Each structure stands twice: as C-alpha cells, then as structure tokens.
Structure 1
Amino acid sequence: MAAIRRAIGLMSGTSMDGIDVALIETDGGIKVRRGPSDFVPYETAFRRQIEVGLEHAKSIQTKDQRPGALSAVEKELTKRHGDAVLRFLSHHKISKETVDIIGFHGQTVLHRPLNGLTVQLGDGRMLAEMTGVPVVYDMRANDMVHGGQGAPLVPAYHQALAARVPAELSKGKPVVFVNIGGISNITIISKNGDPIAFDTGPGNTLIDQWVSDKAGIAYDAGGSIASEGQVIANVVSRYLAKPFFDLKPPKSLDRNDFTLADLGDLELADGARTLVRVTADAILKANAYAPEKPSLWIICGGGRKNATIMADLAEGATNTKAKVVVAEDLGFDGDSMEAEAWAYLAVRALDGLPLTWPTTTGCDAPVSGGVLVRPT
C-alpha cells in the first residue's frame, strides 16, 4: 500500500496573476485529504516583467535557453515562490519537516507541442534550498519525450476527485472537470477507461487582454462588462472556425495561439461579451469527444467567477440535459485545485506513477515524469 505523503503544490497559470499555494495529504491514488491554501498576487510591475519575458521566449529553440530578460525573470519568479512557501508554512503553523515534497509548476512562457518544446520558468534547486523541502519540477518534459503534448497534467488529480462526486449527480455518465484559466481545458472522466483531456480554447486571456487594452482594467470582474454587451455572432463564428477546433484530442495551446485580431473595432462591452461566448462555446464543443454525453460539468479556475461565462455554459448544457456547477458546490476549491494537483502529481512522481496517458496528452504510453531535487 502506497504511503500517505504531505505535499505542497505551487501553481502560476497563464493568467499570470500570482501564485496559488495548497497543501494536501495523499497516496497519489484516490486517497486525498485537502488542507489549507493561499494566493499570493504578483505586483503589477512583475507581471509586466513576465509579459516582456513572453516576447523574449518566442526565440527559444531548446528548453534550457533563457534569452533576453528570462534569466532574471526566472530568478525573481523562483524567489517569489520560495517566499510564498515560507509565508504559507508560517501562516498555517506548519513545520517544514512535516512536508515531504513540493510540486513546482513554474511559469509557462512557451508551449509548442508540435515541436516537442515546452518551457516553464522556475529553478527547482533554488526553491529547494530556499524552503528546505525536496522539490519535484519540470513535470511536463518527460511526457513530450514520449510523444505527448506536455499538457494538460491536471487530469490525474481530477480522476481522484471524481470518485467523490455523488452518484445522484454523475448518474453513471461521464463527469467533466473544466478549468477556465488563461486557457480553458477539460477532463472527461468515465466509469471505465483512462481520463480524456485536452485544451478547449481561450479561457480568460483574451477577455483580460481586451478590457486591458480598451479600458486599462486588468480583468472583467464578475463578467459585469460583458453582461452589458451583445454577442457578435459572425465574430464568434470566425474564432470557432480556427484550425485548432478541427484537431482531434489530445491537443493543447500556447496562450498566444489566439489573439484579438479577429475582434476588429468592437465596442468594449460587445467585445467582452463576444469573447465570453467564444470561451463557452469552445468548452461545450468538447461534448463531441465524450464516450457518451456528460451529466455534470464542474467548473474550476478564475472563469467560474465570471457570471456571464457561467450563464452561457449553463444555457448551452441544457441542450444535453447536463448540469453545470462550480467546484465549491461539491466541496472542492476552484481556486486552489490546480495547486493541489501539482502537489498530487509530485507524490505520483515520487512513486513513478503515471502523470499522463495517451488519452490526455497523446503520449505513447502512460508515463511518469518530473525532476527531483533535495536541499543540501
């Protein structure tokens, strides 16, 4: 029987808004005890540094290259993660000696799955030295060595959580976990077989970029701007006609694969409303790849706080008589779930258990991964 380990997960997603920190105790299987979680926001100036780094990252040809400002950004990013862990331990009165492992995602700055290249900034050794806790990092690379797309990795954790969904809600049919971050991704979990997972399309990134460019606002809080606009149907159609949507899963995206170019010169609210519909319709298109129509859609990530996205999802799901809920409705935490997943994956990595499957990333066979470093 696998040992129960105490793990901290760290996640900084494509929204680049900060660091999610979460603690769980798990055997890397279906035994999961969720602990406390925190969020540490990035200051605006550092977000701008990452954005500059994203431009420099476009010239990367091998995963270890750090052109331009990237080396400095990586060091600063790792320092912020280390500080976040130390504050988390202090705040929750947790001794570092009781923590077995840290799962460190880092910050994705480039993801080119067709080229077998994915780059996450983050110095695992530096983090281990700062915190005094062993670290597993670079968990996407081995999947790509084995023919996978390196994303998404959260499905392993979704599968563990799906075991907790009440039977009266699952009704024996597939359950779908939807994470709406900068990019949206889903995991389809059936009673039999490995999870099916893939990126569905834009999440919050385009909406955030739109309101930032048009109004100097970081994001559309609650979807209030979008709620005042109209859906411009021909623009939605233009987005959904992109070649990405004709690809069969597994498939994954870089945050720059979709841009605002197709919006044209729409008014602020109409642009936000139209992008919301793009996000929701792209997610619902995933129905086509489920072995049978799902009964339940569980929405996680920042996008669940956008009431306009949630309304569009709920309306679209009625076509298949499915129910749409937020993670909290089932006792989960939609903010910390990805950080929890990275803690969970670190434990699986320690035991050599699969992090990905052919049905989640397209790898040749179920494969583990990650690089383990211990403090000296």
Structure 2
Amino acid sequence: MSGTSLDGLDIVYSHIYRQNNKWQFEILQTESIDYDKAFQAKLKSTVEMSAEDLWSFHNEFGNWLGEQVAAFVRHNTLEVDFVSSHGHTVFHQPERGFTCQIGSGQHLANVSGLKVICDFRTNDVALGGQGAPLVPIGDRLFFSGYDFCLNLGGISNISFEKDSERIAYDISPANMLLNYLIKPLGKAYDEGGMTARKGSLNKELLQALNSLLYYQLPYPKSLGYEWFREQLIPLLDNFEDTLENRLHTAVYHICEQISNDIKKEVSSKQARLLVTGGGAKNDFLIELLRNNLKGKCEVIVPETTLIDFKEALVFAFMGVLRECGEVNCLKSVTGASRDSSSGVIYYPS
C-alpha cells in the first residue's frame, strides 16, 4: 500500500490462517520502497491532473506496482496466493459518492503474473459509507487485546469496540501536517519530533486548528488530502511564526484531538492503546500523548515491524476475507447501509 503521507510503498508478505476459530498472522518478509522526488511530486500532483492524464497514470502506477511486487517475490523466492493492493488514494469524497485509488489492478496482475485483489473502498461508498477507515476489521480480529487501536499515518485514525460494534473514524491530520511543515528544511519528516520539540506553543494557531469544523462532526467521518489542501494549508499560511513553533503547535494539536476523543470513550478502568504508523516513531508526539492520557490510558508502542507494516498487513487480511467471501467492511465503522465483502479480483493475462 501507499499512504497519504507519500513516503513510499509498503510491501508485506504474510501468512494468514485460522486457528481455534480465531484469525492469526505471521509477518514473514517486508520491504519499504521510497519514492524518488520526481515520482513523489507526480503522485502529489494527481489531484490536479486532467481525467485523461490521471487515467494514464493509474495504468502507469499499476505497471510500476507490478514491477515492485515481481522483484520482491523473485528476490525473496516466495510462493504467493495473491496480491492484495490498496493502491494510492487520489480523491476521497464519500459525501459526493466517490473515492479513487490509483494503481490499476489489471496492469499489476499482468506485470507481476499474480492474481490481484484491490479497490476495497468503492463498494462501501456505493453502499452509502465513508469507504474509510478499513483497517478496523483487522483491529477487531487481530488486535482485540487492546481497547483502542490508533494509526498515526498521514491521517490519525482510531478504532474501538462500543456497544458490541466496532467504531472507527479519522481523528485529525498527522504526518501529512507535520511533513508539510518540515518541508522548507529539505527534510521528508521530523525525525523523532526533534525539530518540533525545540519550538514553543502558538496559542492562537492552536485555537484556530482546534476550531476547524471537522472536529465538531459526529462519526462516521473521514479525511482526505483535498480537505488538508482546502482547509488546513490556507489556515497555516495565515500564521507567521518560526518553523519550530508551527511544528510544536501542530504536535500539540494532533495530541489534543486524539486524547480528547479517547477520554470521551474510556471507562473507569485503565485502558490500553496500541499505536502504529510512522507517527509512533515521533518521540515528542508519543511523550505528549502519554502525558495527556496519564491515568486514563496506557500508550503502547509495539516493535518496529508492526509499527511500519500493520496497515499493509491488514489490507492483506482484507484480501483474505474477500477471497473467503467474509465481511471485510463494517457498516458500524463506515456508515454504509450494510456490511460487505469488498474488493475487485483481477487475473493475469
């Protein structure tokens, strides 16, 4: 899969199986392929492309994905049942009835020579859902030992059980915001949150960020890059301050939104929160989150492989559930009219 933070392609080779009527997994091989600057710029520009150019790039990206998969399989001498591909989200506007992930499944299948299951979001949107988040099915079936599962990718999203239903939604921007702010220094991301730690809080900016309409909306709800571009970038550009102070304030904003939402759902007992995604490596953010949730929720950061590849693992699992004809999209999460087994299957030719 390729996430909204635009840092690269994550590939996981996993063994997923059922034992004692419970789904289990093993992560056997992984690889992260960084996008070079030109390719990253092209992916970022997809929201501005004409329909013809976007469709052409959809096929080109599918070919490229097929090449990466083929090389990964060849290099590691793997036996593969199928490829489960999320692709890269360009448009996500469920309120208008559409979502678009590029990376043509047919081109991927043809180039890799493998069966492909992809396009996991469209069916849920067609059923009136948000088409996101989708990872909560994995949270429920793989990580039920935690009260909350938080992913800190380009966007922060959370999932948890409430009244015997899985609830999940996007809370706020995360790495998408932090990476945007660090970019003038020529860095892809703020390693360990070291630059943000040096700054001071801009209370005016924090208040403006916390006042965004999205945070007042009830779940189910989800965010996309278009929202970030239209709502957040103009707001940030209105505040003149040092890069360190803006980053520092952004981390405070992310942690406030996350901790406020969790505190609303925590019962009297000490809860357990599993944190994965690139933001789990931002020491400043995790430290602040732990301070905000002290006495309410234990913040657990797992080993690096799970931090980096949990999302790709769960999309592999979504492919397994689709292959078995079992539910992989939950209406309680997305707001769709019903649960569904989503994903389109392509065979190589």
TM-score (norm 1): 0.85
Q: 2:292 aligns with which of 316, 324, 327?
A: 316
Q: Name the residue aligned to 1:244.
A: 214
In the alignment, what sits opposite 1:23?
13
Q: 1:36-75 counterparts in 2 under 5 A?
A: 36-56=29-49, 67=51, 69-75=53-59
Displacement of 1:187: 1.1
Equivalence for 1:297? 273
Instruction: Give the direction of change, closer, same or farther, for the CA distance of 1:53–1:311 in structure 2 (3 Å limit).
Output: same
Q: Indicate if the aligned counterparts of 1:202 and 1:278 stay in contact, CA closer than 8 A.
A: no
Asked if the contact 2:60/2:103 (under 8 Å) is kept, the reply is no
- Listed one character per residue, the Cα deviations across residues 43-83 of structure 1 (whole Å, up to 9, x for unaligned) are 11100111221223xxxxxxxxx625323432332222112
Matched, 1:77 2:78: no
Where does residue 206 of structure 1 map in the other structure? 177
Superposition pairs for residues 349-364 of structure 1, below 5 Å?
349-364=322-337
Q: Per-residue deviation at 1:38?
A: 0.8
SS at match of 1:177: strand
What is the TM-score of this pair, normalised by structure 2?
0.92
Question: Residues 327 and 54 from structure 1, CA distance in 2 versus in 1: closer, same or farther, beyond 3 angstroms?
Answer: farther
Alignment partners' CA distance in 1, 2:227 and 2:263: 22
Find out whether 1:179 has 2:187 as its counterpart.
Answer: no
Work out whether 1:113 is the aligned partner of 2:113: no
> Could you tell me which residue of structure 2 aligns to residue 266 of structure 1?
241
Distance 1:345-1:315 versus aligned 2 partners, 3 A rule: same
Please name the residue that 1:188 is paired with: 160
Q: Residue 105 of structure 2 contacts residue 116 of structure 2 at CA under 8 Å; is this kept in 1?
A: yes
Matched, 1:87 2:59: no
Equivalent residue for 1:342, pick from 315, 333, 343: 315
Partner of 2:165: helix, strand, or coil? coil
The worse-fitting range, judged by mean Cα deviation, of 36-45 and 75-84 is 75-84
Distance (whole Å) between structure 2 residues aligned to residue 119 and residue 76 of structure 1: 15
Q: Which amino acid aligns with 1:149?
A: Q
CA deviation map 1:157-203 (0-9, x unaligned):
1112224x3xxxx5xxxx1111111111111146x723211000111
Secondary structure of 2:66's counterpart equals: helix
Q: Which amino acid aligns with 1:24?
A: S
Identify the structure with the greater helix proportion.
Answer: 2
Q: Tell whether the 8 Å contact from 1:180 to 1:204 is kept in structure 2 after alignment.
A: yes
Other-structure match for 1:7 = none
Given that residues 199 and 252 in structure 1 are in contact (C-alpha distance below 8 angstroms), is that contact kept between their aligned partners in structure 2? yes
One-letter amino acid matched to 1:225: T
Within 1, Cα distance between the matches of 2:303 and 2:181?
28
How big is each residue's C-alpha offset from its partner over 1:274-315, in whole Å with a ceiling of 9 and x where there is no partner?
111111112223225637366111111111111111111111
Is the partner of 1:14 in helix, strand or coil?
coil
Question: 8 Å contact 1:154–1:338 — kept in the other structure?
Answer: yes
Match of 1:226 in 2: 196
Q: Report the alpha carbon displacement of residue 218 of structure 1 after superposing the two structures with TM.
A: 2.0
Residue type at the aligned position of 1:248: P
SS at match of 2:13: strand
Identical pairs, percent: 30
Q: Is the 8 A contact 2:263 2:296 kept in 1?
A: no
The alignment covers a number of residue pairs equal to 340
SS in 2 for 1:147: coil
| Cα distance in 2 for residues equivalent to 1:291 and 1:366 | 26
Alignment-mate amino acid for residue 276 of structure 1? V
The answer for the alignment partner of 1:161 in structure 2 is 142
Distance in 2 separating the partners of 1:41 and 1:81? 13
Which secondary structure state, in structure 1, belongs to the residue aligned with residue 285 of structure 2? helix
